[in-house]
């Protein structure tokens, strides 16, 4: 957690990042709007499968996902699973793509940017509300 995290700090972090790491405990994330705006600013999301990423993320296409843990695990076992999954994906997928296949990396960046806006912008939201409420 960052103390004093607000709009200006958020902007600085997103402007300078290649990847947005956000790993909430699954079932405890409300939304994740920082990840949405990070994607809009060319930062690739790397997250647990919770919150908004469930609707958006396609692993290796527009983001990277930490493999899901069994929901019946103890908290300690879940945290261990998430940590090991994070390092496995980082070492075997993220870093090789970023450093060895930059064209593939840019495909992920562009997919993320191009796919996040139409789905999570206010035009889509207003249209969906109108359609559901008045159709």
Tokens of 52: 């908004």
Q: How far apart are the first and last CA of the chain?
A: 43
Catalogue all structural domains in the chain, each as residue range(s) with its CATH number.
7-129 (3.40.50.2000)
What pLDDT score does 73 carry? 95
User: How far is the C-alpha of 108 from the C-alpha of 97, rounded, in Å?
Assistant: 10
Q: 24-38, 44-58, 98-112: which has the highest mean pLDDT?
A: 98-112
Q: Across the chain, what does the average pLDDT equal?
A: 89
17 near 37, Cβ under 8 Å? no
28 or 55, greater pLDDT: 55
């Amino acid at each position: 957690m960052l103390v004093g995290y607000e709009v200006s700090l958020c902007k600085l972090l997103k402007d300078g990042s290649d990847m947005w790491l956000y790993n909430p405990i699954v079932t405890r994330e409300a939304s994740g709007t920082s990840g949405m705006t990070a994607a809009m600013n060319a930062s690739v999301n790397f997250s647990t499968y919770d919150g908004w990423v469930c609707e958006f993320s396609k692993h290796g296409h527009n983001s990277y996902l930490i493999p899901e843990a069994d929901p019946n695990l103890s908290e300690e076992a879940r945290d261990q699973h998430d940590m090991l999954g994070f390092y496995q994906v980082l070492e075997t997928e993220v870093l090789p793509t970023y450093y060895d296949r930059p064209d593939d990396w840019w495909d992920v960046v562009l997919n993320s940017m191009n796919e996040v806006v139409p789905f999570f912008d206010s035009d889509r939201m207003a249209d969906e509300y109108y359609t559901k409420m008045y159709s």
